[in-house]
Amino acid sequence: MTTPTVGVLYSGGKDSTLAALLLDRFYDVTLVTTHFGITDAWQHAQSAAAELPGSFQAIELDRSIAETAVEIMTDDGYPRNGIQHAHDEALEALADRDFDAIADGTRRDDRAPTVSRAAAQSIEDRYNVDYIAPLSGFGRSAVDDLVSQTLEVTVGPSEDIPRADYEAELRAIIRDEWSDVAITDIFPAHDQTVVTGLK
Amino acid sequence: MTTPTVGVLYSGGKDSTLAALLLDRFYDVTLVTTHFGITDAWQHAQSAAAELPGSFQAIELDRSIAETAVEIMTDDGYPRNGIQHAHDEALEALADRDFDAIADGTRRDDRAPTVSRAAAQSIEDRYNVDYIAPLSGFGRSAVDDLVSQTLEVTVGPSEDIPRADYEAELRAIIRDEWSDVAITDIFPAHDQTVVTGLK
């Protein structure tokens, strides 16, 4: 039987890396990074992907998705719903590619992005693809154990860590187009992790 | 760093086998079968476990748990809540052993047993253990792909398949003690799968 293919939505962070490692025993894995053509942050994901099994693809999404995400965030004053919008659109774009399954790094205890069972089944039905959330049955402490067993990582303030999640490009839009909005009002200071290799 | 230990609640079926395979890259896996001392069905799980990585343990639970599960089922006229009771008690017994994490084969689309996020966090807090549901982010079609990639299985009517889930012993109680209740009224005919080896 042919090995099925999975496209894993990939940021270079620990969660999407673990999602890929959980699947690569069963699937032909492609690490897929989406971006909005605003910065070259997606290349950080490509560098991290080079240390992992599987191939790499970048998908450029329409910049209007990022603009809408930023509008949602600046209206709300917090990032959750804007991040969710960007993630939903990225998953739709990934589902529209020719993979047998798509996956992401969402975890049990995440607040955003989340993919409900109903949203998962909707994607599966509309695109005739399996949606998999390999980390959705793992809590924070279990994820920490997976990381320490398998990954070399660098941790630091999110503005300094070379990742390719939505945050870097959304920050760039806010910086360029919303000069009256302080980025730290929307993205409170927090640490991020980037994967630098496998143990 | 020491590899953390996980006890996987194990029936010899495909779901609990896949749960173990998803974890064995990261954990020292023990396959744990619970039983009520009523039949020797747990030995079927031991046979299946012999084909897998990891060690095997059996835990005998108090027979009163099975009696209560059967009372619930006969009151309800369907098995869901009785199976849930048996599973909840099995997880508590497993959590009380000395593992860093415990896991089971519950899937995204299962109706019973299920472990809600609140129930997971309650077990984690009370026993200082991680609870992991490795298959909870996989739908039915994705699970079928995992099976076809990795497992040799036998499928057949549930009364003929030598598994070690709760059903065999609960059927035995109904047969012995509830002669006026037809087993097929509570357990409608359905197919089960037993794992016979790895591909």
Which among A130, A135, A142 has the least Cβ separation from residue B139? A130
A149·B117 Cβ contact <8 A: no
Quote the minimal CA–CA distance from A85 to chain B in Å.
Answer: 20
For the entire predicted model, the pTM comes to 0.94
Integer Rg of chain B from CA: 16
Q: Which of A141, A143, A148, A150 to mutate to test the interface with B (most CBs of B within 10 A)?
A: A141
pLDDT of B167:
85
Quote the minimal CA–CA distance from B141 to chain A in Å.
Answer: 7
Quote the minimal CA–CA distance from B149 to chain A in Å.
Answer: 6
Beta-strand pair A55-60/A28-35: parallel
pLDDT of B160:
79
Residue A156 is encoded by which pair of tokens? 């630091």
Q: Which amino acid is at A118?
A: A
What does B144-159 look like in DSSP terms, one character per residue? HHHHHHHEEEEEEETT
What value does the mean pLDDT take over residues A149-161?
86
Angle at A107 between CA A98 and CA B137, to 5 degrees: 55
The contact set of B with A (CB < 8 A) is 1, 3-4, 21-22, 25-27, 100-101, 106, 108-109, 117, 120-121, 124, 130-139, 141-142, 145-146, 148-150
Range of the domain at A130: 5-198
CA proximity to A11, closest of A167, A145, A175: A167
Q: Which of B135, B145, B146 to mutate to test the interface with A (most CBs of A within 10 A)?
A: B145
B136·A141 Cβ contact <8 A: no
| Distance of alpha carbon A177 from alpha carbon A169, whole angstroms | 12
| Distance of alpha carbon A31 from alpha carbon A16, whole angstroms | 9
On the 0-12 / 13-18 / 19+ scale of CB atoms within 10 A, A127 is: middle
Q: Which residue of B has its CA nearest to A147?
A: B26
| Distance of alpha carbon A70 from alpha carbon A35, whole angstroms | 14
Q: Where are the beta strands (DSSP E) in chain A?
A: 5-9, 28-35, 55-60, 101-103, 130-132, 151-157, 191-198
| Distance of alpha carbon B64 from alpha carbon B55, whole angstroms | 28
pLDDT digits (tens, 9 = 90+) for A171-194: 899 988 887 777 888 888 888 888
What is the phi-psi region of residue A117: left when phi exceeds 0, alpha when psi lies from -120 to 50, beta otherwise? alpha
In CATH, what number is assigned to the domain containing residue B72? 3.40.50.620
pLDDT of B126:
98
What value does the mean pLDDT take over residues B102-122?
94
Q: Which one-letter DSSP state was computed for residue A85?
A: H
* Mean of pLDDT over chain B: 93
pLDDT digits (tens, 9 = 90+) for A110-135: 888 999 999 999 999 999 999 999 99
| Distance of alpha carbon B86 from alpha carbon B51, whole angstroms | 26
pLDDT of A192:
85
What value does the mean pLDDT take over residues B123-131?
98
A139·B148 Cβ contact <8 A: no
| Location of structure tokens 């966090």 | B121
Quote the minimal CA–CA distance from A39 to chain B in Å.
Answer: 32
Q: Which range is least confidently modeled, A84-88, A98-102, B25-29, B164-168?
A: B164-168
Quote the minimal CA–CA distance from A26 to chain B in Å.
Answer: 6
Q: Which residue of A has its CA nearest to B141?
A: A130
Q: Which distant-in-sequence residues (6+ apart) come within 8 Å of A40 by Cβ?
A: none
ipTM for the predicted complex comes to 0.92
Per the DSSP assignment, residues forming a β-bridge with B59 are B34
Which among A108, A132, A146 has the least Cβ separation from residue B138? A132
Q: Which distant-in-sequence residues (6+ apart) come within 8 Å of B93 by Cβ?
A: B34, B59, B61
Q: Which amino acid is at B57?
A: Q
| pLDDT above 80 (res A6) | yes
The structural domain count of chain B equals 1
